[in-house]
Structure 1
Amino acid sequence: MDHSDNSTQTYSTRKTLIERVKDQYNESAWKEFANIYTHYIYAVIRNMNISEHDTEEIHQKVMVKLWKKLPQMDTDQIRRFRSYLAMVAKNEVKQFIRSRSRRQDRETRAVADASMNYLNSIRLPEIEKIAEREWQIHLTNLALKKIEPHFSKKAMEVFRLSIEGVPPDEIARRTGIARNSINTLKARVKSRFFAEIQQLREDLQ
């Protein structure tokens, strides 16, 4: 893949980016960090049965925590950065529920306690499963966003439907594209897509 193509955004490598965000006032680095990781962190929080409204608040707390902690961390010791982000998200969810439970009356507190029990029952392997699943979805979405400018809307629609598991005949019906053109369009996008996935894995993992 040619990374000299200015029409495609190329992300900094994970290690380079984390070194840059250790400068808390490097706005461009933090903007890139948020651009790469926001949707992933948000999805991890939502996977813990948190409402959309509360997820927004918790996500902001996670970002503030990262803003405070990353400059002091030896990030070389973090084996998987995405797993570290998932654990920070989990801890912020627990803190959010503790804080809310202190403000609730006994009846509503029972609901919060049930949520707390659920969160306390999550162990690292389960958090790892959530992190891994959401990371693969996140990489897919990043790759699709990056290759989108290089293909027609029809070609991208065909490819998106195909990776969702929609059969070719149904894709043809939905898009109005001839059945014998489906595989051709899909193949054009597929090679670029997997090249982007591979590059993102090398850059961000």
Structure 2
Amino acid sequence: MTASPPETRASLILRLQDAADIAAWEEFAEIYAPVIYRTARRLGLQAADADDVVQEVLSAVARSVAGWLERDDRGAFRAWLFRIARNLSIDFLTRRKHRPWGVGGDDAEKHFDEIEAARDISSHFDEEVQREIFMRASAVVRSRVSDVTWQAFQRTAVLGESIEDVAADLGISKGSVYIARSRVMKRLQSVVKSRRDNSNDEV
């Protein structure tokens, strides 16, 4: 069974209200746990604390998603999830046993002011989601094309190797590399679009 790109489908969010829906929670965690972890690390947490934040965020979603769905002003799901991840990360940073600075707190206040001013953290969260989308869409497409086709795409479009070098190494023409790259790009776009057309991030 191939992986599917991680769009937050309305149906998935609705299923999260049921704590016993193991499949929904596994899918949700697979999509967002890596994103939450990397966001926590970017906010300054150590690896072990970032792992704890992931678990706390998932627990917070489980407790709050039903109430969030009932709100008329709820906005986008990802924005809500980011706020939870951000607030819990900052909470971890303020706990004495996790605090990496002096008891006086001046450095801590300065650090949190910097976090407040770091508007790119929110966009980083979205970038991380898009990264997960690409990685999982790639898993789908990778299973549907030949190894040579995938290598031609990955090495030129992702790794930045020259068309000439890749063609020579794979034993194919430069034209074949261009065709392979175009074919994979179209399939990636199709896989992502097919899920987006049936998803609604705001429910």
Q: TM-score, normalised by structure 2?
A: 0.78
More helix by share: 1
Does the aligned pair in 1 maintain the 2:5–2:137 contact within 8 Å? no
The answer to whether the aligner puts 1:22 opposite 2:17 as a matched pair is: yes
Match of residue 183, structure 1, among 171, 178, 183: 178
- Aligned runs of 1:1-205 on 2, under 5 Å? 9=4, 14-74=9-69, 77-100=73-96, 106=102, 112-123=108-119, 126-164=120-158, 166=160, 167-172=162-167, 176-180=170-174, 181-202=176-197, 203=199, 205=201
Could you tell me how far apart the structure 1 residues matched to 2:7 and 2:98 are? 42
**Length, aligned pairs only:** 197
Could you tell me how far apart the structure 1 residues matched to 2:101 and 2:122 are? 34
Deviates more, 1:6-15 or 1:47-56: 6-15
Going from structure 1 to structure 2, the CA distance change for 1:57 and 1:172 (only over 3 Å counts) comes to farther
Instruction: Give the superposition deviation at 1:81.
Output: 1.7
Could you tell me how far apart the structure 2 residues matched to 1:77 and 1:199 are? 28
Does the aligned pair in 2 maintain the 1:161–1:171 contact within 8 Å? yes
Q: TM-score, normalised by structure 1?
A: 0.78
Does the aligned pair in 2 maintain the 1:24–1:71 contact within 8 Å? no
- Identical counterparts, % of pairs: 21
- Once the two structures are superposed, what CA deviation does each residue of 1:1-30 show, in whole Å capped at 9, x if it has no partner? xxxxx7565878611111111012211111
Deviates more, 1:96-105 or 1:151-160: 96-105
Could you tell me how far apart the structure 2 residues matched to 1:66 and 1:165 are? 37
Deviates more, 1:107-116 or 1:13-22: 107-116
Deviates more, 1:163-172 or 1:32-41: 163-172
Could you tell me how far apart the structure 1 residues matched to 2:132 and 2:75 are? 19
Could you tell me how far apart the structure 2 residues matched to 1:133 and 1:153 are? 28
- Once the two structures are superposed, what CA deviation does each residue of 1:100-139 show, in whole Å capped at 9, x if it has no partner? 467777369666555333323335xx34422332222222
Could you tell me how far apart the structure 2 residues matched to 1:154 and 1:49 are? 41
In structure 2, stretches of 5+ residues that fail to align are none
Give the CA RMSD over aligned residues.
3.1
Instruction: Give the superposition deviation at 1:165.
Output: 5.7
